[in-house]
Amino acid sequence: MRIILLGKPGGGKGTQATMLKDRLGVPQISTGDILREAVKRQTPFGIEAKKFMDAGLLVPDCLIKDLIAERLREQDTAEGFIFDGFPRTIAQAEALKEIGASLGFDIDAVVNIDVSSEAIVTRLSGRRSCQCGAVYHVVSKPPEKEGVCDQCGAALYQRSDDQEAVIRNRLAQYEAQTRPLIDLYEKEGKLVTIDGNKQIEVVFADILAALGV
């Protein structure tokens, strides 16, 4: 199957994509992974993308399109794939259609994981991290001693992208740039919306039922 996962930042797309990848036996594809791999392998597109990344600039859509096309020509995508975080805009969705037309495939389903904005703010702003890699949550997974890591005893901290103002800005960008994709794919008859406020395993079961797998 060829699947796109949509949803707000922090809504669980990455977690569900990993679980779907294991169940369906097809690769999970994100633009971040593609960029890192292309740069690592020093492909022509990777070398070009690195120029923007090193300058602290967004990689332009035209180059992202080339990178996606390059990735979808690889043999492991022959039986399908799961897009996690792509497309993000109408322009990227149109580019994906062009790639599909040139490579002879179409998207089978678009899964929209719907989580309320306030739930996402609570979920992300409550995270606390440690330099050792451990992650806690002030409500759902607090450390034994407040502000101190259970594993190494170091002080916990809040990552800059877990601060409420940053989270709300990311949600605003989603509303402006990515939400229009929901209407686009709904009109094409490919959209299924899943309640993402439930437990991870329940959301996964709902996705499988919606996909008929």
Question: Catalytic positions, please?
Answer: 13, 88, 127, 159, 170
Neighbour tally for 62: CB within 10 Å:
9
3-state secondary structure of 30: coil
CB 6 within 8 A of CB 109: no
Q: Is the dihedral of CA 59, 61, 62, 68 positive or negative?
A: positive
Confirm if 143 and 156 have CB atoms less than 8 A apart: yes
Phi and psi angles of residue 110, each rounded to the nearest 5 degrees, phi first? -120, 115
Q: Are 156 and 129 within 8 A, CB to CB?
A: yes
DSSP SS3 for 82 = strand
31-41 and 44-54 helices, crossing angle to 10°: 110
Q: Which residue has the tokens 């929209």?
A: 112
Rounded-to-integer distance, Cα 118 and Cα 86, Å: 23
